Structure 1
Amino acid sequence: MTVYVWDFPTRIFHWLLVATLVSQYLTVEVLDNAIQWHFYGGYFMMGLIIFRLLWGIMGAYYARFSAFIVSPAVALTYAKSLNTSHYKASLGHNPLGAYSIIFVLTALITQTISGLFVSDDIFDSGPYYSAVSASTQDIMNWLHHNLFNAIWVFLVLHIGAMIFYKFKMKQDLVKSMLSGYKKINDSNNESSEPIDTQNFWLRAFIFAGLSAGLVYMIVVVLAPEASDEFYY
């Protein structure tokens, strides 16, 4: 049985986030004189995260936080059931995947916020860099650089999990996130009936516009004027 689980807005968010993370790495670690593009990428990522938070509240069913966030006890029980006869596949995000989403969204929210307060110590700085004390700048700088490493560790674990599910559990998560469709085995699936996923195009466009508007407010409208002392 094949079910349409992942709506298009959820899938485009996922792949845009992957592309943005890669570009953020390249603009810092590989490319020369690309730090301003790194800031732009950070603002774009902020918009993505805002969109996902809105979509997690009022988006398609399987993308909503209420549809997949469970208690730690449920997640532990699920983890123990892997590779046993008691295992039940999840139609949407599985309990362990739910906690990985909580982690990565929290990390990226912190990453984008801290990026507003950091500087490359040469020409470019976040829009709120000059509005805080030197000690706060140091804290934000520490958070921004160390969380970046933590996120890459998470991505390695995430890729490892996808490989495990593909070859051990016979679930192609990448293909599902590309097509939106998920194959389920009635005898080895969670008991709840599949719910028709809708793309909610109008809602998605409204949320995208709201996200862009909020980023503009944060980065441009509400940001204090840069201190001239930064350039001397």
Structure 2
Amino acid sequence: MPKLAKTDRSFSAPVDAQPSPEMVRVWDWVVRSFHWALALSFAFAWFTPHSSEGIHRWAGYAAAALVTMRLLWGVLGTPYARFSQFVRDPATVLRYLSAMLSGREARYIGHNPAGGAMVLVLIAAMGSTALTGWLMTTDAYFGVPWIEAAHSLTAHGLLLLVFFHISGVALASFRHRENLVQAMITGQKRKAEPQDVA
């Protein structure tokens, strides 16, 4: 039986507005800031690989720092930010994807199983891209072909993942009649109905 979502005001940041009676706070300011800052750092890095190496490099360092911060916040953060809340086993993710294909997927207050899996894959891909980019600047790996190829592969793979992420957000927004982009700005989502999952 799905659990109903609960509003946990004890973890709310003072900069967040109080949710209305029809809404519940889900994403804290750390998660929201991380999301948009990581998107910006990737955009800066993607559009400046050769035109401005300095900006490209610092965008990569920013991405690495953000990923590190998110890993820590996934353990120490507010309830919906924690990996323990949204990381699910592969079988659960596959069942959710199967339900999506038939239009029967449940609405989740936090990340749904597919969204949770995408968070992990995006973090891993961004971390790998930043790591291989940094290795290219070291004496040991500067000019090494396989490092350059790995960096290019992870960067292009990351772009593909971003496309899937945006598509998934658009589909979930349409299916469940809620603006998930706005939710990642305000931190609030519609309260759970009996058939929803916390």
Cα distance in 2 for partners of 1:83, 1:107 equals: 26
Match of 2:96 in 1: 78
- The change in CA–CA distance for 1:84 and 1:145 in structure 2 (over 3 A counts) is closer
The reply on whether 1:3 has 2:3 as its aligned counterpart is no
Q: Do structure 1's residue 35 and structure 2's residue 53 form an aligned pair?
A: yes
Cα distance in 2 for residues equivalent to 1:13 and 1:181: 16
- Among 160, 165, 185, which residue is 2:167 paired with? 160
TM-score (norm 2): 0.83
For 1:182, the equivalent position in structure 2 comes to 189
Change in 2 beyond 3 A, CA 1:35/1:73: same
Answer whether contact 1:75 1:95 (CA < 8 A) is retained.
Answer: yes
- Cα distance in 1 for residues equivalent to 2:45 and 2:152: 12
1:139 matched to which residue of 2?
Answer: 146
Instruction: Find the residue that maps to 2:38 and give its secondary structure.
Output: helix
AA of the residue aligned to 2:135: F
- Structure 1: segments with no counterpart, 5+ residues: 119-125, 193-232
Assess if the C-alpha contact under 8 Å between 1:3 and 1:184 holds in 2. Answer: yes
Whole-Å separation in 2 of the counterparts to 1:100 and 1:5 = 18
Q: Distance in 1 between matches of 2:61 and 2:32?
A: 20
Give the aligned length: 177
Gap change, CA 1:131 and 1:172, over 3 Å in 2: same
- Would you say the 8 A contact 1:117–1:141 is kept in 2? no
Q: Which amino acid aligns with 2:95?
A: T
User: Where does the alignment leave 5 or more consecutive residues of structure 2 unmatched?
Assistant: 1-21
2:15 paired residue number: none
Letter in 2 for 1:131: A
| CA separation of 1:76 and 1:131: change in aligned 2, threshold 3 A | same
Aligned to 2:180: 173
Deviation track 1:13-49 (CA, whole Å, cap 9, x = no partner) reads 00000111111112126xx3x0121111111111101
TM-score by length of 1: 0.71
Separation of aligned partners in 1, 2:103 and 2:33 = 35
Aligned residues of 1:87 and 1:188 also touching (Cα < 8 A): no
